[in-house]
Amino acid sequence: MENYSQMRIIESYWTDLLIEFEKNESEEVLQVLKFIDKEVSKQNEKCTGI
């Protein structure tokens, strides 16, 4: 259940960043989004073994 809570927090943060990026098209925000995407992919691999 802890992983689910963490994923919900990440999802919320991700959504906020996407909104910010759409407003400003900031390169810094884009880099954070890419980093989060990589980290979420790593966590998914650990959890699912895929």
Helix (H) or strand (E) holding 42: helix 27-48
Per-residue confidence (pLDDT) for residue 19, from 0 to 100: 84
Q: Is the pLDDT of residue 1 over 60?
A: no
Q: Give the chain's end-to-end CA distance (angstroms, integer).
A: 20
Question: Residue holding tokens 């691999």?
Answer: 45
Residue 50: pLDDT band (50, 70, 90) is low
Domain coordinates in residue numbering, the chain: 2-48
Q: How many residues does the chain have?
A: 50
Angle between helix 27-48 and 2-24 (nearest 10): 160
Per-residue confidence (pLDDT) for residue 42, from 0 to 100: 84
pLDDT tens per residue, range 8-47: 777 787 788 888 878 888 888 888 888 888 887 887 788 7
Per-residue confidence (pLDDT) for residue 2, from 0 to 100: 64
